[in-house]
Amino acid sequence: MTLDVPNLKSESLDEHHERLRAEAHQEIDDIPVQEATKKTQIIAIYGKGGIGKSFTLANLSCMMAELGKRVLLIGCDPKSDTTSLLFGGKACPTIIETSTKKKLAGEEVKIGDVCFKRNGVFAMELGGPEVGRGCGGRGIIHGFELLEKLGFHDWDFDYVLLDFLGDVVCGGFGLPIARDMAQKVILVASNDLQSLYVANNVCSAVEYFRKLGGNVGVAGLVINKDDGTGEAAAFAETVGIPVLAAIPQDEDLRRKSANYQIVGSAQSQWGDLFTELSINVADAPPVRPSPVNQDGLLSLFDASETGGDFVLEPATDQDMRGKFSKPKASLEVIYDDAV
């Protein structure tokens, strides 16, 4: 499949909407699947937007490279922020935008156009469509199509780390799980209900595709901004996955992350933490999680903080009609008392 770049100026609004609908409903089976020619561990990292996946991955990849491993980091979040910390805040050209520009110019995309390196880590961003002009999941699919053309399966890496937004695990965002493109999944969450909801959602996706014959499992959970309250660790125990590392809620880490500074190095005070994380990520086997329902998630928290003890009160037709409410004639048949 080639990336079709429509002429937006000549496209009517209705035609534009129809194209987007068709694009969103395209099957993902058209992505070529080839067997890898190199022994590479492909790991997909999922987590709620803003939970710290990019921070975790940038430092994890640097520490893995420092330990002598060949690492490729691929950002698969439409925000395209995965490589920003790695490159000191510098945004690198994404595969999607580069492919579009090259196609319009009648040129082919080359490795050097989309892949960049620092501290032994190779990195690239898939990117996403312009706002309102495409589907983010389809953008990821297009990005992987281009990676195939660039020779992805012949590249020589020990680890390929994929950074995925976990809020919605469908279409392109669920690609590594749905198509067995990764051997295992790593979750990033914190001690808050929303990030654990997303982590549980990913576990549900893994379980769903395992039932369909898939092989991807969850290798474990990284607790980011850990304040010691314990909900994330309790979640990991409940769904049956290990905690790979607990990155503390610390002002030094916050400031360095905000300033695009790498702490995943032996020269950093956090070197031991990321060394341990690197080893655990590499060695942890993929397991089949046991996701919980919403009430199960709420039970991990104090009910006074979450409203977990709230009892649902059904609404009535009168409630919905408000000031327009009035008695309705009944069709019920009333019989006189039997003699």
213 against 69, higher pLDDT: 69
CA nearest to 242, candidates 300, 187, 297: 187
In the predicted structure, residue 43 carries a pLDDT above the cut 70? yes
Active site residues: 48, 53, 79, 167
Span of 46-50, 67-71, 306-310 with lowest mean pLDDT = 306-310
In the predicted structure, residue 339 carries a pLDDT above the cut 90? no
For all residues of the chain together, what is the average pLDDT? 81
- Which distant-in-sequence residues (6+ apart) come within 8 Å of 194 by Cβ? 48
Span of 60-69, 144-153, 236-245, 304-313 with lowest mean pLDDT = 304-313
In the predicted structure, residue 246 carries a pLDDT above the cut 90? yes
Q: How many CB atoms lie within 10 A of CB 29?
A: 7
Tell me the mean pLDDT in the region 194-215: 89
In the prediction, which pLDDT does 320 show? Answer: 86
Pair type for strands 243-248 and 217-226: parallel
* Residue 320 DSSP code: H
CA nearest to 143, candidates 122, 170, 116, 162: 162
Q: How would residue 18 be classed by pLDDT, with cut points 50, 70 and 90? A: low
Q: 117: helix, coil or strand?
A: strand
Q: How far apart are CA 115 and CA 52, in angstroms?
A: 23
Q: How would residue 9 be classed by pLDDT, with cut points 50, 70 and 90? A: very low
Give pLDDT tens digits for 269-296: 999 999 999 999 999 999 999 999 888 8
Domains and CATH numbers, the chain: 40-301 (3.40.50.300)
In the predicted structure, residue 255 carries a pLDDT above the cut 70? yes
* Neighbouring-strand partners of residue 117: 122
Q: How would residue 152 be classed by pLDDT, with cut points 50, 70 and 90? A: confident
Q: pTM of the entire structure?
A: 0.77
In the predicted structure, residue 35 carries a pLDDT above the cut 50? no
In the predicted structure, residue 153 carries a pLDDT above the cut 60? yes
Beta strands in 157-261 (DSSP E): 159-165, 184-189, 217-226, 243-248
